Amino acid sequence: MKRFDYLAPQNLTEALQMMADRPEAIPLAGGTDILVQMKEAQRPVEALLSLKRVPEVHQITQNGKLTLGAAVTAGQLATDPQIQQAYTALANGAGLIGSIQIRNMATVGGNLCNAAPSADTAPPLLVLGAQAVIVSTPGERMIPLEEFFLGPGRTVLQPGELLKEIVVPQPLARSGSCYLRQTPRAWMDIAVVGVAATITLAADDTIAEARLALGAVAPIPMRTTAAEKLLTGHTLTDDLLQEVGTAAAQAAKPIDDLRASADYRRHLVNILTQRALRSAWAKAKDSQGA
Amino acid sequence: MEYELNLSINKQPVKITVEPHLTLLEVLRDHLTLIGTKEGCGTGDCGACTVLVNGEPVCSCLMLAAEVERQEITTVEGLAVNDELHPIQSAFVNQGGLQCGFCTPGLLMSSVALLEQNPRPTEVEIREALAGNLCRCTGYDKIVRAVQAAEEVEHV
């Protein structure tokens, strides 16, 4: 690789000061995207700012809400029993990234900031109502994750800004979630279509609220509120699932590329939406409440 | 710009000065002559460069050496003890879990990490744990049998 400056802050304050001094510096967490881009695509990099020694972005806190430091790894998310139980879609998505080796390095912050439309933690975090905490030397701002992505590889982060953490609210009682994706290979592949779903059940087992998000079928990971609303107040039936699957497929904006045709992607959105909803519903039925 | 690193490799302290653009793989092979770890792709897809950092498998081709200071690194050279093969190595030999051998160091490290956490994995669990290690020669069948044959391993 070409030489670059390696910045090694010891805490968040130092990191932000270094980013203010060197706005061209790119944050380095797991390195599984940026290093590949530097090697394969010859991405020009003047400086990397290592987050390895910044404790503030490595913490997972569960106290009601779930706060994930940006440098928490996919492996941590995939294997944490509480996350598997209460934020299942997130554990699903994180557990599908790459391989065990990659999951031991790749981070949730990196997955989001790399902003691939197919990012596997994005649809789960969207349906779980996540917010992004962005910091810089002037201060801190918090935005809904829906507002974070601008396009393939682009986020709202300005020079000098760092994604510090992701905050996920505590799921409501009788909620379940699921993330499924389709890939040509069993592992080590990029989602052709990804679907995340959450369902919250009312006391009479009708759906109080449902959320759906799609990955790899639009320039950015996207919610499908029109399809979601079809579920509110109803019991889950095969007919309703087909209706929702069709609506989600219509909302998707896929392209033809070497992985799949747009038609096939729409077909997959329909199928995976139905499967993800069934799974989320089953988890909601089984859940024991807040 | 040079970076001074304190590493622990196969339980030995190693002090080395490197330029920060070097990956752990490059430092292991080119600076420390630990050439057991191989470069298959350089982009984290094939797993030939797998080493353990604090017992966890990672792709050393995507890890800057400067990122692993003060971490415990285990390479394939750290498996055998005093010329006695590690049980996983014996199992690969006895079961014929290799042909050209290029992917083998990476597979041994992933297998060791798997068996450390799960001494009696099912076939599905083995194949999933080794999904990040590609082999072009064997078709994986004897690799899986080797992992199944390995006895409970000592903590590496």
Comparing C-alpha atoms, which of A210, A168, A208 is closest to residue A82?
A168
What is the per-residue pLDDT for A50? Answer: 98
Q: How many residues belong to chain A?
A: 290
Comparing C-alpha atoms, which of A209, A205, A212, A276 is closest to residue A250?
A212
Burial (Cβ within 10 Å: 0-12, 13-18, ≥19) of residue B74: buried
DSSP helix/strand/coil, B146: helix
What is the per-residue pLDDT for A288? Answer: 66
Q: CB of A136 within 8 Å of any CB in chain B?
A: no
Distance CA A231, CA A259 (A): 31
CA distances from A180 to A169, A254, A276, B149 (A): 21, 17, 6, 34
**Cβ neighbours of residue B24 under 8 Å, at least 6 residues apart?**
B51, B60, B63, B64, B65, B67, B68, B73
Q: CB of A10 within 8 Å of any CB in chain B?
A: no
Residues of A with Cβ-Cβ distance to B23 under 8 angstroms: 1, 35
Closest partner CB to A188 (pick from B42, B45, B56)? B45
**Angstroms from B63 CA to nearest CA on chain A:** 7
DSSP helix/strand/coil, A197: strand
Distance CA A138, CA A69 (A): 20
Which residue reads 């779980």 in tokens?
Answer: A128
Q: Is pLDDT above 80 for B128?
A: yes
Identify the helix (H) or strand (E) that includes residue B9. Answer: strand B3-9
Distance CA A96, CA A89 (A): 11
Mean pLDDT of chain B: 94
Shortest CA distance from A50: residue in chain B: B67
Q: CB of B64 within 8 Å of any CB in chain A?
A: yes
Is B57 within 8 Å of A6 when comparing Cβ atoms? no
Q: Is pLDDT above 70 for A225?
A: yes
Distance CA A243, CA A263 (A): 18
Q: Which of B49, B58, B72 to mutate to test the interface with A (most CBs of A within 10 A)?
A: B58
Distance CA A168, CA A178 (A): 15
Q: CB of A67 within 8 Å of any CB in chain B?
A: no
Q: Quick one: CA dihedral B115, B117, B123, B127, positive or negative?
A: negative
The percentage of chain B sitting over the pLDDT mark of 90, rounded to a whole number, equals 92
Is A31 within 8 Å of B50 when comparing Cβ atoms? no
Mean pLDDT of chain A: 96
Residues of B with Cβ-Cβ distance to A190 under 8 angstroms: none
Q: pLDDT tens across A184-202, in order?
A: 998 999 999 999 999 999 9
Residues of B with Cβ-Cβ distance to A73 under 8 angstroms: none
Is B129 within 8 Å of A100 when comparing Cβ atoms? yes
Q: pLDDT tens across B18-76, in order?
A: 999 999 999 999 999 999 999 999 999 999 999 999 999 999 999 999 999 999 999 99
